[in-house]
Amino acid sequence: MLIFFGFSVEAAKIILKPGQSIQAAVDRAVAGDTLIFSPGVYTASAVTIRKPLSLIGENYPVMDGENKGNIFLIAAENVLVRGLKFIRTGKSNMDDSAAIKFFDSKNCTVENNILEDTFFGLHFSNSSNLTIRNNKVKASATREFEVGNGIHLWKCKDNLIEKNEVSGHRDGIYLEFVTNSLAKENFIQGNMRYGLHFMFSHDNTYLRNTFKRNGAGVAVMYTKNVTMQENRFEENWGSSAYGILLKDISDSKVIGNTFQKNTVGIYMEGSSRIQFKENNFRENGWALKLMASCDQNLFQANNFSGNTFDISTNGNTVLNELKENYWDKYEGYDLNRDKIGDVPYRPINLYSMIVEKIPASVMLWRSFMVTLLDRMEKILPTMTPNEMIDHSPKMRPYDFG
């Protein structure tokens, strides 16, 4: 690190003008040099970088890929790419065309860039210690197969993905075999498929990100030790859209998140030992779809308010625990004034079971008939699972600020 620092102090600054070949400049430069791009439009295709360089743009010079393949290919350590604007990569699934594609790299930083109309935005494989910060990645495809992922990492570790804005891509952020990484304060909006999609990506933390109006919300699979904290999952609407879909996730924490106006707040199956605490579920169609294949999950001190249905499930087995949550539909009383309701709350109502079986019957929701049915079931539970119960419902909502 020190040696590298020494380098960069004496390193040369090479200034590029539009029209010059970027590849030639890169080839001439020595390790540690800084390439400064003057404003203007550069045509760039498959510029290959194999040594530590800093590429810095002044006033967002445009790297135009002219719809041919990748723009930058990087396989090196200590590369910095800052302040560039990338447009028009190729559109091919054969080589996964991307604005910048990193292979086998280390300690690289990509920040303050603008990417428009790229197939894949930033594509990293087999790399580590990456910093991806403050990039605006935007695609304008109309169909899912016409576009790749915004920020795509495969087999990377120890990364920081921070304050990026991704929209219009297939998946906003896609992680596969990515470990020990932190994604925070990203704004992922309006992507065709998932806002965040990860698989086999253990020990990662997601902090204060916003996932809004993505085609199918957020889907995460086959992973353990995930921490999701203070994220917002909003307005994911559709027949298979979820705030988060958790499939085979274990030993994780979901704390302080807000799920608002999603068709399904959280859908989970095959997941175990996850703690859900201090989350806000507001105005979702279903706050939780908790499949019977989940076990040992704990839901504690969450707010459920304004949801059409609080919880639905697909079987009678309940191996999860609900406690000290606030449910706005709770109608019990609190005689000893300890702010905990004296009668337990059953978050599954009869009609949500019926809707689960016959979706079209949602049309009758809130009719007098259905209200009567629900009342009867509340008094004499026959169809709803007996153990799905909160023994200590709070009388007042938590104030999470």
**How far apart, in whole angstroms, are the C-alpha atoms of residue 262 and residue 212?**
9
For another protein, the closer of residues 100 and 287 by Cβ is 287
Residue 344 contacts another protein per CB under 8 A? no
Contact between 65 and 95 under an 8 Å Cβ cutoff? The reply is no
Helix (H, G, I), strand (E, B) or coil at 78: coil
Contact between 164 and 138 under an 8 Å Cβ cutoff? The reply is no
Q: Side chain identity at 79, as an amino acid letter?
A: V
Residue 239 contacts another protein per CB under 8 A? yes
Residue 59 contacts another protein per CB under 8 A? no
Stretch that binds another protein, among 20-28, 86-94, 187-195, 366-374 (CB under 8 A): 366-374
**How far apart, in whole angstroms, are the C-alpha atoms of residue 372 and residue 355?**
16
Residue 360 contacts another protein per CB under 8 A? yes
Which tokens in the block code for residue 349? 């109502």
Among 154, 177, 365, 400, binds another protein (CB under 8 A): 365
Long-range contacts: 92-95, Cβ < 8 Å, 24+?
92/119, 93/145, 93/148, 95/69, 95/70
Stretch that binds another protein, among 194-202, 248-256, 314-322, 355-363 (CB under 8 A): 355-363
Residue 309 contacts another protein per CB under 8 A? yes
Among 30, 369, 376, 383, binds another protein (CB under 8 A): 369
Helix (H, G, I), strand (E, B) or coil at 63: strand
Among 371, 376, 386, 387, binds another protein (CB under 8 A): 371
Residue 378 contacts another protein per CB under 8 A? no
Which tokens in the block code for residue 58? 């002044």
Contact between 220 and 248 under an 8 Å Cβ cutoff? The reply is no
Among 31, 182, 199, 364, binds another protein (CB under 8 A): 364
Helix (H, G, I), strand (E, B) or coil at 212: strand
CB of 237 to another protein, least distance (A): 4
Contact between 236 and 283 under an 8 Å Cβ cutoff? The reply is no
Site string for another protein, 250-289 (x = CB under 8 A): -----------xxxx------------------xxxx---
Contact between 101 and 77 under an 8 Å Cβ cutoff? The reply is no
Stretch that binds another protein, among 54-62, 108-116, 132-140, 358-366 (CB under 8 A): 358-366
Helix (H, G, I), strand (E, B) or coil at 22: helix
CB of 15 to another protein, least distance (A): 52
For another protein, the closer of residues 41 and 369 by Cβ is 369
Token match 């539970």: residue?
381
Can you name the residues that pair with 133 across neighbouring β-strands? 111, 162
Which tokens in the block code for residue 160? 């920081």
Stretch that binds another protein, among 50-58, 90-98, 115-123, 304-312 (CB under 8 A): 304-312
For another protein, the closer of residues 227 and 308 by Cβ is 308
Which tokens in the block code for residue 10? 């004496």
CB of 161 to another protein, least distance (A): 29
Angle at 170 between CA 207 and CA 235, to 5 degrees: 55
For another protein, the closer of residues 112 and 305 by Cβ is 305
Among 1, 3, 9, 363, binds another protein (CB under 8 A): 363
Site string for another protein, 162-191 (x = CB under 8 A): ------------------------------
CB of 260 to another protein, least distance (A): 9
**How far apart, in whole angstroms, are the C-alpha atoms of residue 267 and residue 308?**
15
Among 28, 359, 375, 386, binds another protein (CB under 8 A): 359
Residue 241 contacts another protein per CB under 8 A? yes
Which tokens in the block code for residue 79? 């590369």
**How far apart, in whole angstroms, are the C-alpha atoms of residue 192 and residue 174?**
13
Among 10, 331, 368, 379, binds another protein (CB under 8 A): 368
Q: Which residues of this protein are in contact with another protein, per CB under 8 A?
A: 237-239, 241, 261-264, 283-286, 305-306, 308-309, 328, 357-371, 397
